[in-house]
Amino acid sequence: MTLGIGLLGCGTVGGALVGLIDAQPDLEIRQVAVRSTTKARSAGVSSDLLTTDAHAVVARSDVDIVVEVIGGIEPARSLIIEALEAGKPVATANKELIANYGAELLALAEAKGVDLQFEAAVAGAIPIIRALRASLGGETIHRIAGIVNGTTNYILTKMTEEGASYGDALAEAQHLGFAERDPTADVEGFDAGAKAAIMASIAFGADVVAGDVFHEGISNITSTDIDFANRLGYQIKLLAIAEQFDANGDGPSIGVRVHPAMVPDSHPLASVRESFNAVFVEGDSSGELMFYGRGAGGEPTASAVLGDVLDAAAALRRGGHRPMPLAQRLPIKPIDDLPSAFCVNLQVTDAPGVLAQVAGALGENDVSVRVMEQHDIAGEEAGTARLIFITHVAPERQLRRTLAAFDKLAVVKAIDSVLRVLGE
Ligand SMILES: NC(=O)c1ccc[n+]([C@@H]2O[C@H](COP(=O)([O-])OP(=O)(O)OC[C@H]3O[C@@H](n4cnc5c(N)ncnc54)[C@H](OP(=O)(O)O)[C@@H]3O)[C@@H](O)[C@H]2O)c1
């Protein structure tokens, strides 16, 4: 039986999806909703199929599965609700929508007994949602750490490998089409934050929304930070991290955050270069897993959407669906309570007793040091040295207190940088 597809949106992803669906023997695109029917379309998109009335596409009796690749909240949300209300499964690539309204839409899909799938919303072609939902469905997952934004990974790769400044690397990414003209969503971590919320929701079976995610972007990372990190054996990456904590007796809680971090050269995430994405999963029985691939682009993203469409088609033919309830809210830990190791780079007076004062401030705040190095500062006035140390894992609050204590020490001339380190 041929199933009819209603395609909402025919831009970068939708345009690539048309050819992939046309190559499927049992699927047929019935109509394609766009904003403008006169705009030039990629070859393979028949102008006869185009309409500006997306609601009518959803309502057609010969549309069995709805694919939403418009993006944004509205009208995407209303259109998906209309499809689910009509008992039609939906595949969407819309991270913004799922990261904000995922629980509500999944509850509706559940009530209607149909599938809502969104593999392409996180890390493009990488099948991470299906892996978390199905293959790792029974696994206790402790932590997910992902490079899920290709733009920032491209910029950091250029800064690392070519010594480019942040501004020059961003300009090159924009020139090559890897970064938007307004890069805020990427470089300030909002895009990765939405993906972190979705991964946390699926991995921990809880309703985690974009607003729950702490995020800090890469715009303050300097070539000097990268240089020091490299010399110490680390790569700086923008990480999306979702963790589940099982506090004694208090029940589980979640930490979800996006920030730049120093990743040890020996860690698989350190070798993820340019615009590639990767997601590193740590589970109780599974151990460590890494998923790697193209996180964006028309064809890779369309490939993930096609997988969802085929899944939905198989479920329709079988007469069932795969439930994915996200009803519960779990406590979200504030960033101050989240554990990290830190790399701190200080300018200090080069005199006897300085180390003892710095060590005293660390000890008073329960932060212990794993590695410490002292360097002379070339070209600086005599009597100044650089002290770089990496701490053991400690809650962020303790590190903040330590930095406040450093500020009060006359021997600490400047706190040049503080970076989180992907720790044990
Ligand atoms: N691009 C990627 O690499 C990528 C990767 C992962 C996920 N995604 C997600 O995939 C979705 C689509 O992204 P995209 O890059 O393909 O976007 P895009 O190139 O901007 O395409 C959006 C499409 O939606 C149509 N559209 C906009 N408003 C509409 C409306 N009110 N009614 C009907 N059609 C409307 C546009 O019509 P016109 O063509 O007439 O303007 C266009 O065809 C987004 O949720 C995005 O986050 C994209």
Beta carbon of 55 within 6 Å of any ligand 1 atom: no
- pLDDT beyond 80 at 290: yes
Number of domains within the chain: 3
Q: Do 341 and 201 belong to one domain?
A: no
Q: What is the CATH number of the domain that holds 396?
A: 3.30.70.260
Contacts of 166 (CB under 8 A, 6+ apart): 155, 159, 218, 219, 221, 222, 223
Torsion on CA atoms 375, 377, 383, 385, rounded to nearest 10: -30
Query: Mean pLDDT across the stretch 33-43?
Result: 93
Residue with CA closest to ligand 1 atom 19: 11
Q: Do 148 and 287 belong to one domain?
A: yes
What is the rounded CA–CA span in Å between residue 234 and residue 217?
Answer: 18
Query: Mean pLDDT across the stretch 143-155?
Result: 97
Beta carbon of 36 within 6 Å of any ligand 1 atom: yes
Beta carbon of 283 within 6 Å of any ligand 1 atom: no
Q: Do 286 and 214 belong to one domain?
A: yes
What is the rounded CA–CA span in Å between residue 19 and residue 301?
Answer: 13
**DSSP sequence for 85-99:** HTT--EEE--HHHHH
The closest of 315, 373, 326, 332 to 114, measured between CA atoms, is 315
Query: Mean pLDDT across the stretch 216-228?
Result: 95
Instruction: Copy the structure tokens of residue 125.
Output: 């072609």
Predicted confidence (pLDDT) per residue in 267-276, tens digit: 999 999 999 9
Question: What is the greatest pairwise CA distance in the chain?
Answer: 82
Q: Do 206 and 313 belong to one domain?
A: no
| Number of Cβ atoms within 10 Å of the Cβ of 378 | 6
Query: Mean pLDDT across the stretch 153-158?
Result: 98
One-letter amino acid of 47: S
Q: Do 191 and 251 belong to one domain?
A: yes
Structure confidence at residue 249 as a pLDDT band (50, 70, 90) = low
Selecting among 88, 195, 237, 333, the annotated active-site residue is: 195
Q: Do 154 and 115 belong to one domain?
A: no
**345 Cα: distance to centroid of ligand 1 (angstroms):** 43
Whether the Cβ atoms of residue 196 and residue 216 lie closer than 8 Å to each other: no
Tell me, yes or no, whether 323 lies in a domain. Answer: no
∠ CA 325-20-178, rounded to 5°: 80
**93 Cα: distance to centroid of ligand 1 (angstroms):** 9
Judge whether 195 counts as a catalytic residue. Answer: yes
What is the rounded CA–CA span in Å between residue 232 and residue 216?
Answer: 23
One-letter amino acid of 252: P
Structure confidence at residue 381 as a pLDDT band (50, 70, 90) = low
Q: Do 208 and 171 belong to one domain?
A: yes
Tell me, yes or no, whether 138 lies in a domain. Answer: yes
Taking CB atoms within 8 Å and a gap of at least 24, the contacts of 11-14 are 11/69, 11/71, 12/297, 12/298, 12/301, 13/69, 13/93, 13/120, 13/298, 13/301, 13/302, 13/305, 14/67, 14/69, 14/302
Higher pLDDT, 75 or 329: 75
Q: Do 224 and 151 belong to one domain?
A: yes
Query: Mean pLDDT across the stretch 112-139?
Result: 96
The minimum-distance atom of ligand 1 relative to the CA of 75 is 31
- Over its C-alpha atoms, the chain yields an Rg (Å, rounded) of 24
The minimum-distance atom of ligand 1 relative to the CA of 121 is 7
Residue with CA closest to ligand 1 atom 47: 94
Strand 50-51, strand 27-33: pairing: parallel
3-state SS assignment for residue 144? strand
Cα(first)–Cα(last) distance of the chain, in Å? 52
Tell me, yes or no, whether 326 lies in a domain. Answer: no
- pLDDT beyond 80 at 295: yes
Predicted confidence (pLDDT) per residue in 48-62, tens digit: 999 999 999 999 999
- pLDDT beyond 80 at 325: no
Tell me, yes or no, whether 16 lies in a domain. Answer: yes
Beta carbon of 93 within 6 Å of any ligand 1 atom: yes
- pLDDT beyond 70 at 170: yes
Residue with CA closest to ligand 1 atom 10: 93
Q: Do 282 and 133 belong to one domain?
A: yes
Angle of helix 95-112 relative to helix 76-85, nearest 10 degrees, comes to 10
Q: What DSSP character marks residue 134? A: I
Q: Do 221 and 245 belong to one domain?
A: yes
Residue 383 has what pLDDT?
86
Tell me, yes or no, whether 330 lies in a domain. Answer: no
Q: Do 142 and 215 belong to one domain?
A: yes
Range of the domain at 94: 3-124+298-318
| Of the residues 318, 351, 373, the one at which a domain ends | 318
